[in-house]
Amino acid sequence: MAIDVSAPETDVGPMKDQRQNQILSAAKTLFFERGLRATTMAAISEAAGIAKPTLYSRYKDKNAIFHAMIASILNDLWELMDAEFSKSGSIESRLTAALVAKYCAVFDMLQSPHVAQMMEDKVLYAGHAFEKLNTDVTKRIESMISEGGYTNPSELTHLILSCAFGIHRNAHTREDVARDITAVVYALLAAAK
């Protein structure tokens, strides 16, 4: 799954990717440290080590950078999950590993005091990208569960994802996230066979 993080085509080749990575990395750090509202284009430019005209040639404003950063984070989450889904092993172990990878990464991000506000703002800037990730993950899990011969794959997928979401929202440590998601996934799948 690829989420569009494109910018105007002013650069070419590896420098384009390097420059975009510099910008998004700097923006992520600043957004997580200061929040969306307190981060300026000048601060992003300085943190990325690029001139303001270069920044503005790629992104018209910080909202465009925020959108690209969210899309980049979602791509990273998908890649984490896809790597686990694609490994060999039982459905239970692959599904658990994928959910643990995603929700531990999300738990880590939520340690920033500004992420709650950014999560509200995400709907304005990247709501469709979040929906696409959720839809793709749901389809992948439902397909795995169906192929595994479990009953009611759609309902079971919904239940597993709802539990995983609740676990990450209420966990105190990332170890809690991993332990509780593992326990819930294995219990639900064992009950559904």
**Could you list the residue range(s) of the whole structural domain that residue 22 is in?**
13-64
> Per residue in 111-127, pLDDT tens?
888 776 666 655 555 66
Residue with tokens 């889904």: 85
Q: Are residues 127 and 185 in the same domain?
A: yes
Higher pLDDT, 125 or 157: 157
Helix axes 62-85, 115-147, angle to 10 degrees: 30
Total domains in the chain come to 2
Q: Are residues 22 and 86 in the same domain?
A: no
Q: Are residues 79 and 150 in the same domain?
A: yes
Angle at 138 between CA 134 and CA 141, to 5 degrees: 140
Angle at 154 between CA 148 and CA 155, to 5 degrees: 110
Of 109, 85, 96, the closest CA to residue 178 belongs to 96
> Per residue in 126-143, pLDDT tens?
667 778 888 999 999 999
Q: Are residues 23 and 101 in the same domain?
A: no
pLDDT of residue 4: 44
Is this prediction's pTM over 0.95? no
Kindly state whether residue 5 falls inside one of the protein's structural domains. no
Is residue 102 exposed (0-12), middle (13-18) or buried (19+ Cβ within 10 Å)? Answer: buried
Kindly state whether residue 28 falls inside one of the protein's structural domains. yes
Distance from C-alpha of 44 to C-alpha of 23, rounded to nearest angstrom = 7
pLDDT, the chain, mean: 87
> Per residue in 13-71, pLDDT tens?
455 588 899 999 999 999 989 988 899 999 999 999 999 999 999 999 998 998 888 88
Kindly state whether residue 8 falls inside one of the protein's structural domains. no
